[in-house]
C-alpha cells in the first residue's frame, strides 16, 4: 500500500490540500530563503531544515521572527 504523506504548516498547523499555494522557508547560513512549494533543489544541505508555510501570512510571521531574533 502506498504511503500517504501529509504536510502540516509549521506556523499555524493547517494541513496541506491539493489546491493550496504553499511556500517553503529555510535558513541558509543566516539568510532567510523562501520558495514556492515544489521547487526541488532550491537549497543545498539538510532538507529537514525546510519549514512548510501555508501562505503569505505564515511566511511573514516566520520572517518577522527571523528579523526579531537578531
Global pTM exceeds 0.95: no
Mean pLDDT, residues 28-52 taken together? 75
Q: Residue 48's pLDDT is what?
A: 60
Return d(Cα 61, Cα 44) in angstroms, integer.
Answer: 24
Q: Is 54 helix (H, G, I), strand (E, B) or coil?
A: coil
Confidence band for 42, pLDDT divided at 50, 70 and 90: low
User: Does residue 63 carry a pLDDT above 90?
Assistant: yes
Q: Residue 46's pLDDT is what?
A: 59
Q: Compute the chain's Rg from CA coordinates.
A: 13
Contacts of 28 (CB under 8 A, 6+ apart): 43, 44, 45
Amino acid at each position: 500500500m502506498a504511503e500517504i504523506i501529509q504536510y502540516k504548516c509549521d506556523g499555524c498547523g493547517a494541513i496541506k490540500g491539493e489546491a493550496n499555494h504553499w511556500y517553503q522557508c529555510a535558513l541558509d547560513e543566516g539568510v532567510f530563503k523562501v520558495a514556492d512549494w515544489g521547487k526541488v533543489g532550491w537549497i543545498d544541505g539538510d532538507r529537514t531544515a525546510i519549514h512548510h508555510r501555508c501562505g503569505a501570512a505564515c511566511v511573514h510571521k516566520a520572517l518577522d521572527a527571523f528579523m526579531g531574533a537578531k
